[in-house]
Amino acid sequence: MGFFKNKNELETLGFSVINDIYSNEEVEQITSLIEHSCSESDNFLKSEDLYAIRQFVKEIPEIKNLIFNQKLKKVISDIGDDNFFIIKSIYFDKPETSNWFVSYHQDLTISVDRKEAVEDFRGWTTKNNQFAVQPSLDILENIFTVRIHLDETNKENGALKVIDKSHLKKIYRPENINFETEKETFCDVQKGGIMLMKPLLLHGSNRTKNKKRRRVIHIEFSSKVLPNNLNWSEYSPINN
């Protein structure tokens, strides 16, 4: 089974949903490892509304063997090629009582190992000794995101809503969205399914209405070497 139809959807629409990537048993193995991992690191964020782990793969390296099963490896091979690697990873757990929304936006920054003067790199920020910057457009266009859903997520449950094909408009300010001409899609994903997304796709999420838990692993991939000897702060190959 190939995923070239999904590659076409990703390129033309900016997103694609693929269910049945993980069995229930595989999901339970993943969630069990996460739940039994604890750390005093600043990358573990805990509050009543959100539990999150930044630099997820670095913080829990054992998770890679569970996440990258044969199906996901096949997806990545068909979507990109063998040159793609991990550049960013985050785990989100929005509990049943969490009821916040995310307004429409594009993912315009990358995480790097230091601050360096680079042409067309702008808007540098530093938080917890981590550096983020908006890179040149060719780097953003090369990235794709895999969102692994550990719970069923739908319109009633804070599923991502997207503006179809908005990634083709380069930098697209959300205040310029014309809902009379644009198509908005809610991306329902089953437990054990994934959503593929381009970072320039306008996306957001509504408040939950059914009080159901939403756990998602967000992983970004690229095949680009950064200029001026900059390094991806979370660089990690897929196969080891």
For the segment 46-105, what is each residue's pLDDT rounded down to a tens digit? 766 667 899 999 999 999 999 999 999 999 999 988 899 999 999 988 766 656 678 999
Asked if CATH classification 3.90.230.10 holds for the domain at 4-108+144-222, the reply, yes or no, is no
Listed range (123-127, 128-132, 134-138, 150-154) with the worst mean pLDDT: 128-132
Return the pLDDT at 56. 95
The pTM (predicted TM-score) of the whole model is 0.94
Quick one: which of 203, 201, 202 has its CA closest to 101? 203
Residue keyed to tokens 């967000």: 218
Measure CA of the first residue to CA of the last residue in the chain; give whole Å: 24
Domain-wise residue ranges, the chain: 4-108+144-222
Return the pLDDT at 157. 85
User: What is the average pLDDT across 16-30?
Assistant: 98
Give the other-Cβ count within 10 Å of 47's Cβ. 9
**pLDDT higher at 99 or 32:** 32
